[in-house]
Chain A
Amino acid sequence: MAAVSATAVPSLRACLDLAKAHQRAGDHARAAQWALAATDAGDDFAGWLGASRVWERARPHLPAAARRARVAVLGSYTTTQFTSLLPLACARAGADVEVYECGYGLYRIEVLDPASGLRAFAPDVVVLAVHEGEVDLPESSDDPEAAVEAELARWTSLWEQVRAATGARIVQHNVVVPAEVPLGHLAARVPGSRHAMLQRFNQRLGELAASEAGRGVSVVDCERLAGAVGKRAWTDPRYHHAAKQAVALGSVALLARHTAAVVGAQLGLARKCLVLDLDGTLWGGVLGEVGPHGIAVGAGPVGEAYSAFQRHVLALKAKGVVLAVCSKNDEALVREAFEQNPDVLISLDDVAVLKASWEDKPSAVRSIAATLGIGEDALVFVDDNPAEREAVRELVPAVDVVPLPADPSGYVRALADYPFFETDAVTAEDAARTEQYRARAAVAAQQEAAGSLDDFLAGLDMHAEVADLSPENAPRVAQLIGKTNQFNLTTRRHSLADVEAFAADPAWTAQVVRLRDRFADHGVVGVLLARCEDGADGRVVDVDTWLLSCRVIGRTLEDEMLRVLVERAGALGCARVRGTYAPTAKNSQVAGLYERLGFLPRGADEDGTTRWELPLPARVETPGHIAVSVAAPVPARRGGGTEHEDAHEGAHEDEQGTRRTVEVAK
Chain B
Amino acid sequence: MSVDERMQQVVREVIGNDDLVLRDDMTARDVPGWDSLAHINIMYSLEAEFGVQFSDEQLSSFQDVGELRRFLASAAG
Known: A49-B16, A50-B13. A238 touches B48 (CB 8 A): no
Known: A242-B59, A483-B36. A250 touches B13 (CB 8 A): no
Q: Which of B13, B18, B40 contacts A242 (CB 8 A)?
A: B40
Known: A46-B10, A49-B13, A242-B40. A249 touches B45 (CB 8 A): yes
A residues near B60, Cβ cutoff 8 Å: 242
Q: How far is B60's CA from A249's CA once the two chains are assembled, in angstroms?
A: 17
Q: Mark B39-60, 1 if CB is under 8 A from A, else 0.
A: 0110011001100011010011
Q: Mark B5-27, 1 if CB is under 8 A from A, else 0.
A: 00000100110101000000000
A residues near B59, Cβ cutoff 8 Å: 238-239, 242
Q: Which of A20, A45, A53, A242 contacts B56 (CB 8 A)?
A: A242
Q: How far is B14's CA from A387's CA once the two chains are assembled, in angstroms?
A: 33
Evaluate contact between B41 and A249: CB separation under 8 angstroms: yes
- CB of A80 within 8 Å of the partner chain: yes
- CB of A76 within 8 Å of the partner chain: no
A residues near B36, Cβ cutoff 8 Å: 243, 483
Could you tell me which residues of chain A, from 79 to 116, have a CB within 8 Å of some CB in chain B? 80-81
Least CB separation from A483: chain B residue: B36
Known: A20-B18, A483-B36. A49 touches B41 (CB 8 A): yes
Q: Binding site of B, secondary structure by majority: helix, strand, loop or mixed? A: helix
Interface size class of A (residues with CB under 8 A): 20 to 34
Evaluate contact between B18 and A239: CB separation under 8 angstroms: no
> Number of contacting residues on B, CB 8 A?
18
A residues near B45, Cβ cutoff 8 Å: 45-46, 249
Known: A20-B18, A241-B56. A250 touches B41 (CB 8 A): no
Q: How far is B13's CA from A45's CA once the two chains are assembled, in angstroms?
A: 10
B residues near A243, Cβ cutoff 8 Å: 36-37, 40
- CB of A274 within 8 Å of the partner chain: no
Q: How far is B56's CA from A68's CA once the two chains are assembled, in angstroms?
A: 42
Evaluate contact between B13 and A47: CB separation under 8 angstroms: yes
- CB of A481 within 8 Å of the partner chain: no
Q: How far is B41's CA from A250's CA once the two chains are assembled, in angstroms?
A: 10
A interface residues, Cβ below 8 angstroms from B: 20, 44-47, 49-50, 53, 78, 80-81, 238-239, 241-243, 245, 248-250, 483
- CB pairs A–B below 8 angstroms (21 shown): A44-B48, A45-B48, A46-B14, A46-B45, A49-B16, A50-B13, A53-B16, A80-B37, A81-B37, A238-B54, A238-B56, A238-B59, A241-B56, A242-B56, A243-B40, A245-B40, A248-B44, A249-B44, A249-B45, A250-B48, A483-B36
New contact pairs (17) apart from A50-B16, A78-B37, CB-CB < 8 Å: A46-B41, A46-B45, A49-B13, A49-B41, A53-B16, A81-B41, A238-B54, A238-B59, A239-B40, A239-B59, A241-B56, A242-B59, A242-B60, A248-B44, A249-B40, A249-B44, A249-B45
